[in-house]
Structure 1
C-alpha cells in the first residue's frame, strides 16, 4: 500500500493532458487513481479530458455498480442534475448480483448516463487486442441484458490508454472520456480535502471540467458530492452529463449506441468463468 508521502509525489489536483502519473492500486479492488509508470495516451483528439461548452461541468463516477450508487443518483436527481456513471462488470462485485442490477436499473431510469469502464478493471494497455475486445464484449453483453443498451462512452481504467486501445474503441463506436479534475477520493483524500479541492476548482469558472469521483466511497456520496454541487452551482457552473457538456445531447439516444429491451434473468447472468477483478 502506498503511503501518503508517496501519494503526494504522484498525484496532482489538476491532471495535465499527458504524462501525468497516477497512483496504482496494489490489491484486486482496482480504483482509477492508482499509478502506473507509463501513461500512453491521456489527452489527444481521440481521448477527451474536459467539456467543450463553457460553464459546463460533468460529475462522473467510476467503479460501480456499488453500494452507494443510488445514494448518489437520487441526490443528483433531486438537484435536477444528470450524472455519468462508468461501470465495471466484475470489480468490487458482480454486476449481475440482484442488488446491483436493481441499483443500475434505478440509475438508468432516472436518466443518468451509463458508460463502460471495462469488465474487471485491468490496465488495458497491457492487454492483447483479443483480451481488450473480450473486456468490452462482457460489459456490452451485461448492459444489454440488464438495461437493453450498448454504451457509447468508455473510460479506461487508471486513465491509461494506447493506440491499439483507441483503434479498437473507435471501430466499435465509442467516445473515450478521461478527466480534467480528480477529487482524489480513491487515493486517500479525506472528505475535507476533497471538498477543499472542489472549492478551489469552483474558482476556475467558466472553464469547463470533467470531474473524477468514485461511487464506491460512502463519504463521497454523503459529504463530498452535496458540497461540490453547492459550490459549483454557486460559482455559476451548469452540471450536466458528459454527453451534454460535449455538445452531443442529453437524451438516451445521445447516450447510447443501441437502446432496446432488457432481457429476463436466466442462468447466463453470472460472472462465473469471466476475468476476476484486476485480471484479463
Structure 2
C-alpha cells in the first residue's frame, strides 16, 4: 500500500537533487576550504616593541639615499628604505648606493616599480609592478624583498592576496605621517617629532620621503638628535616588530654583474 508513496518520495528527492541550490552547502564548504589555503599577510600600522621608533623613507632611490645612510651610520643606527624601480630615478642608476646601504645592514623593501596606485590595478598590472622590482633586487642584491609598502597607502584585497602568493609577509603602513610629500614645512615636521618624542616609550612607525630635500637636510638631523635625547631606539621595521634581519628577504642567489639589461627603459 505504501509503494506508490515511496515512488513519489523518490521522485521528489531526485528532483530536489537536480536543483541549482541543492549542492550549495558543498560549494560553501569547498569555498571555505579554499580560503584556508590562501597565504596570509600581516598589515602593520605601528611598531610593537616598546621604546622603538622606526624612521622609514619612501620613493627613492634618488639623490639623498647615501646622505640618509651616513646620518644613521654616524649614530650606529639603522633605517628602512621602501624603494621604487622607476619613480624619481631609475634604481639601476643607483645600484651601487643601494648595494652599499644593503651591505651596511639597512633594510631594503619594496614600494612597487613605478609608484602606481596599486589598490586600483588588476592582477596582471599588480604582478608586473612587483615582478619588475623583484628582478632589480635580484640583480643588484641577490635577494627578493618580503616587506612591502603600497604607494599612497592604497591597497585592495586582490593586492594583499597577490603579495602573499608571491612570498611577501608584511605590508607596512604607518602611524605617523611627516606630511613632507604634501609640502609640510620643516617646522611642521619637527613639531610632529617633538609630539611623538613626548610619548616615550610608546612605539612609532614614521613615513618620510627621501626625494624631499628638506626632509633629509633639516628634519632628519633634528629627529635623530631628539630621539637620542628621549632614549628611543631608532630601528628598522623588522626590529621594531621583534623580527630578524633575515625575515626581510628571500635569498635567491648572489648579486649579478651590470649589463645591458640593467635599465628602466
TM-based fold match above 0.5: yes
SS of aligned partner of 2:129? helix
**Structure 2 equivalent of residue 209 of structure 1:** 204
Find 2:78's aligned residue among 79, 82, 98: 82
Equivalent residue number for residue 222 of structure 2: 227
Q: TM-score, normalised by structure 1?
A: 0.78
How is 1:245-264 mapped onto 2 (pairs within 5 angstroms)? 245-249=240-244, 251=245, 253-258=246-251, 260-264=253-257
Alpha-carbon distance in structure 2 between the residues aligned to 1:259 and 1:239: 29
CA distance in 2, matches of 1:182, 1:242: 15
Q: Is the 8 A contact 1:213 1:220 kept in 2?
A: yes
| Aligned counterpart for 1:136 among listed residues 115, 130, 133 | 130
Choose from 55, 58, 62 the match for 2:51: 55
Match of 1:169 in 2: 163
Structure 1 residues without counterparts, runs of 5 or longer: 1-44, 273-280
Higher helix share: 2
**Aligned pairs, number:** 225
> How does the TM-score come out when normalised to structure 2?
0.82
Larger Rg: 2
The equivalent residue for 1:184 is 179
Task: Output aligned runs, 1:108-127, within 5 Å.
Answer: 108-127=102-121
What displacement does 1:46 show?
Answer: 3.1
CA distance in 2, matches of 1:94, 1:84: 19
For the 8 Å contact 2:54–2:237, the answer to whether it is kept is: yes
**1:148 CA drift (Å):** 1.1
- Please identify runs of 4+ aligned residues in structure 1 that moved more than 6 A: none
Give, in angstroms, the shift of residue 207 of structure 1.
1.2
The question of 1:106 aligning with 2:124 is answered no
